[in-house]
Amino acid sequence: MRASNIIYPISVPKLFDEERANLIDAFDSSWISSNGKYIRDFEEKFARFIGVDYGVAVSNGTTAIHLALEALNIGENDEVIVPDLTFAATINAILHSGATPVIIDVNDEWCISTEEIKKAISPKTKAIIPVHIYGQPCNMIEILKIAKEHQLYVIEDCAEAHGAHIDNKKVGAFGDISCFSFFANKIITTGEGGICLTKDAGIAERLKILRDHGMNPKRKYFHDFVGYNYRMTNLQAAIGLGQLNKIVSFLEKRKKIEDLYKKYLINNPFIDFQPQKEGKVCWLVSVLVKNISRDKLKKLLLEEGIETRQFFIPLSKMDIYRNYSQADNINTLKLSEEGMNLPTYLDLNEQDIQSICEKINQIVYKLGEKR
């Protein structure tokens, strides 16, 4: 539960009449589980939006990554390279597949380092999972070059980067499989939900079979594989389709929100913004708090009714994962100590953002004076 004094939460989903109408239509149709027209439409339209041929909707972003690994036959005795700065779902999916994660550092743009990828490759390496962290596109051109040279799969984790692009090609259209999340705080939402995208018909078919208990699509109740129940419901897809129809305006509004934060914090020497790489989108406005305590700022803002969020704790600093990292990942450690996400949701207006920034400016200068 949120604290009762929250005026500006970190994130709030924005739902419209279209989503409500779709949801009621799916409800009235009685197709409320994992069959129905909204699932097919959502899969097709989201795949088309990203620029690939096939979409396989799933129950959430974590199961999307796990399903991708299983569809590519990645498991025991295989290694998968993953960045230290990411949500635990990325590495958990690798561990659930039976493979061994190899944790490496990020670069100055906060994304997985291509130089560290090269160092981490071993005879057991089977795949790379670049994470487009906080809407920032990874260097997919170089990553694909490395992958091709070493015959590795690439699974894109696009959970926070719907619509981000590189040279007019959207992230999610580069890897062998890409995975998106539609959790309530994402750029578009289905409540819970996710999707796997691919350009390969064979991979798409395997994703669908494994998603549906490993059942033979031509012989009901005959199972060719040990599969999973990773399906999205028609109700979720009904919401998602309405959201997808507005994704361009959502992205434009989020960019305006980020630009307004920059406008009112531009002269603050204690705040640095996420590097603005071409093609980046705004999921959550992300900043670094410099030369003062990020945690004190976070606490004092909460007392003013402003909810913020610290960056992810490095995977390598948690006991259950630390043995999968062979180095002190300096960039990730620094980002994790200084990083903070600011309230980012569609109902924020300029006056709201100005008020938030005024509080930030007041508090950071006071903290700075006490150094």
CB atoms within 10 A of CB 112: 27
Give the Cα separation of 235 and 27 in Å (integer): 7
Topology of the domain covering 17-105+112-244: Aspartate Aminotransferase; domain 2 (3.40.640)
Buried b (16+ CB within 10 A) or exposed e, 83-100: bbbbbebbbbbbbebebb
pLDDT of residue 369: 77
| Contact assessment for residue 210 and residue 226, using Cβ atoms and an 8 Å cutoff | no
What is the pLDDT at residue 151? 98
User: Euclidean distance between the first and final Cα of the chain, in Å?
Assistant: 34
Q: What is the pLDDT of residue 3?
A: 56
The domain locations on the chain are 17-105+112-244, 248-369
Least Cα distance to 157 among 76, 98, 87, 100 occurs for 87
Query: Taking the complete model, does pTM exceed 0.85, yes or no?
Result: yes
127, two tokens: 């795949």
Q: How many CB atoms lie within 10 A of CB 20?
A: 13
Tokens of 170: 């959207």
| CB of 85 closer than 8 Å to CB of 107 | no
Structure tokens at 307: 């909810």
pLDDT digits (tens, 9 = 90+) for 245-296: 999 999 999 999 999 999 999 999 999 999 999 999 999 999 999 999 999 9
The reported pLDDT for the residue numbered 371 is: 64
Beta strands in the chain (DSSP E): 54-58, 79-83, 100-104, 125-128, 153-157, 165-166, 169-170, 177-181, 194-198, 271-273, 285-289, 309-310, 339-342
CA–CA gap between residue 236 and residue 218 (Å, rounded): 26
Report pLDDT for 327. Answer: 87
Of 176, 206, 216, 180, nearest to 195 (Cα)?
180
- Tell me which H or E stretch contains 146: helix 140-150
Of the candidate CATH numbers 3.20.20.150, 3.50.30.10, 3.90.1150.10, 1.10.287.130, the domain formed by 248-369 belongs to 3.90.1150.10
Closest CA to 163 of 144, 186, 183: 186
| pLDDT tens-place string over residues 32-59 | 999 999 999 999 999 999 999 999 999 9
Stretches in the chain below the pLDDT threshold 50:
1
Residue 1: the pLDDT is 45
List, in order, residues 6 or more apart from 40 with CB less than 8 Å away: none
200 touches 172 (CB < 8 A): no
Report the pLDDT value the prediction gives residue 220, as an integer from 0 to 100.
92
Q: How many residues does the chain have?
A: 371
